[in-house]
A and B are shown apart, each in its own frame.
Chain A
Amino acid sequence: MMQVVNRPWYQGITSLWFKEPGCASYFIAALVSTLLCLVATGMDEELLELMILFSTICMYSAVAWQSVKMQATEWQVLVPDYCKHVMFQGKAFLVFNNIIALLSITIAGNAALLTTLCVANLLGIIIWFLNRSNSRLFTASCYIFFLISILTSVLIDQLPLWLAPVSTLGFIGIVLAHKTFTNAYRWHSSSLANYRQGLQSGWSPIPSGFLSNYGNAINKQLFPLSYFVGASLSQYLILIALFCAMAVAANLFINIVEHAVFILTLLLFTIVTLSLWSKIQKQNSWELLFTLPIYNSSHNAKVALSHSALKLAIMIASLFFVTVLALVIPYEELFIFNTLSYALACASGVLVSFAISNVCKNINVLSVFLCLAFGFNMGLANYIFDHGDSLFVLVLISLYTVSMAGLNRFTVRYM
């Protein structure tokens, strides 16, 4: 009856970090990008910098997510060492991430990237420690720090060296002083609601009422897609349109074509990935949709869903075509083939992601494939913008887009 407790540190690691959707979405992305750091050593230095920043902040976000879950779990306070056990695993992953990043920096032979790693660790620990006692800050803190890291990577060629000691000191200061300010992992009545809301909103950084008056018409046009994704679909689209307008305006004063296209692509595929990921989390079920007096059969509803995804892709393609055209015209560089091909690549990326979400019913499988699709779509869209300057590429990408539209229409039956 009695047994001696002999618990290895890794017990429960798969279920805690890989199988829980909230954590897995950050953790898997962190693991993949950590390993990509090694791959990036033989490629672009900017890519390595971005990977170091992204992987480190993602890993801290996964640990921060476990902190949110810990605050939502009432019984954990009573289970001796449960919190310590889970957090030890988190710390082990953070050490692993840092070792791989250091190894990559050593292989790349660029000591200046140590500054990037130090800054990434500082941003990461702020996310984690903020969320150890304030679960409601998770989404906001993650997005702010991800944005900072991406902007840093895109806009600044090389971080100043003095940031390395400053970040390290800041890191040490936070570690040493945190107990004075926070009561870590303590249960709070709102934490479970924050956890569930976060899980279902796809970590949307947009407040629920944001621009809701303007989004109704869009949501109506994109029904039933908007039924599954929620009001955030129109909010995201308005956000993208606002970004496009701001980029075009800023571009009149300073040439930011390449940066704007990169961030626009990143924004689009991030939003698509988040929306699809949150779609599977939604409680809104097909059964509820069928009870509405709209569709005659499940087949009709599924076809309508594929049509609304196609409408979304067309909207994206049109918006991106006009935006990129407006971006390049002031510099008298009318790359009509590049612009058209780029817009189609973005539209096809949206359709690929939707086809994946049609087929994958398991959240973990979906997360993995969406991550892969995200990388592929980003790479393709940016490559096409840089190199798609011929009619041949335009024809190829057009054919690809049509086939992806067909794939989306075909796979909708598996939903």
Chain B
Amino acid sequence: MTQPLLCYQNVCKSYQQRQILNDVNLEIEPGMVVGLLGKNGAGKTTLLRSALGLLTPEQGNVYVFGEKSDQLSAQSKARIGYVAQQTFGYEGFKIADALALHRSFYPDWDCELENKWLKRFDLDPSAAINNLSIGQRQTLALIMAMAYRPQLLILDEPVASLDPIARREFMGDLFDLALDSDSGILFSSHITSDIERVASHIALIKDGELLIMDELDLIRDTVRKISFSDSGIDLSAYNVLNLQKNSAIIYGYTGDTIPGAIATNTLSLEQLFVELHG
């Protein structure tokens, strides 16, 4: 059995008397690309920051490469790539200088990959970082996080500010990286089409609780919206994600006929997201 790259065990975290994470259990193994989906304030960023030891959970544990996330060794840290929601840290630098300094901390830095991405995303190494657009800064942050081929990549809405072409290309690279290096990737995003394009797994978080964590294909196959007129319908055989007066979102549908159901509809990831938060 392979050791998970990242493991959340019963993680709870609150902030100013508000529960941000509630009993979260999640494992990322090599080769997994996990798309973390949730509304603003659902707890995505807190979940990601807990993996880096930036935040310590009040209950439960987070392990990265088998070590507790708030006591990571330097070797383990060097195997993690991270892009924060707000790219910050190399103000005053030119791109080339920032990359030179950042590169110097990583013996395994892939210069070819760096140059390839600089060219692909049209970043001029002589440009000052202060003058870059938000999207360009995000691209640079991604290069810095990925060019040493980390084994665990944690990305907090990494492509939110990129244009559709750059987003598509970057997402393709992300997937290739996971395949080539046998890395594990956990990334949050609001853009469901991006998640559907590259993620092997989906983690859906709502109000700090992990509602679903499974393979994307399995979610597509087993999540259904059930419409009914009788509120006494028996859905106990399924995992009910959301129950309304005349409809419910169920998880674990096996294709059987559900007595009392008027309609059983499949849902795209976006529809699922909207229905769950509706």
Contact = CB atoms under 8 A, between A and B. Distances in A.
Interface of A: 1-7, 11-12, 14-16, 18-21, 23-24, 69, 72-82, 85, 187, 192
A76 B53 CA distance: 12
B107 A73 contact: no
Nearest to B156: A74
A279 to B, nearest CB: 17
B98 A74 contact: no
B111 A3 contact: yes
Contacts of B243: none
B104 A77 contact: no
Interface in B97-120: 97-98, 100-112
B105 A82 contact: yes
Contact of B52 (A1, A6, A78, A192): A78
Interface residues of B, number: 37
A4 B107 contact: yes
Contact of B82 (A3, A20, A78): A78
A2 B108 contact: yes
Nearest to A7: B104
B93 A192 contact: no
Contacts of A20: 91-92
Given A19-B92, A74-B89, 20 more contacts: A1-B111, A3-B107, A6-B104, A12-B101, A15-B90, A15-B101, A16-B92, A18-B92, A19-B93, A72-B89, A74-B82, A74-B84, A75-B145, A77-B77, A78-B52, A78-B81, A80-B74, A82-B105, A187-B54, A192-B88
23 contacts: A2-B107, A3-B109, A4-B107, A5-B105, A11-B104, A12-B93, A12-B101, A15-B97, A15-B98, A16-B93, A21-B92, A72-B88, A73-B88, A74-B54, A74-B82, A74-B88, A75-B144, A78-B81, A78-B82, A79-B77, A80-B77, A80-B105, A81-B74
Interface string B116-152: 0000000000000000000000000000110000000
B80 interface: yes
B77 A78 contact: yes
Greatest chain A CB density within 10 A among B92, B110, B144 is at B92
B39 interface: no
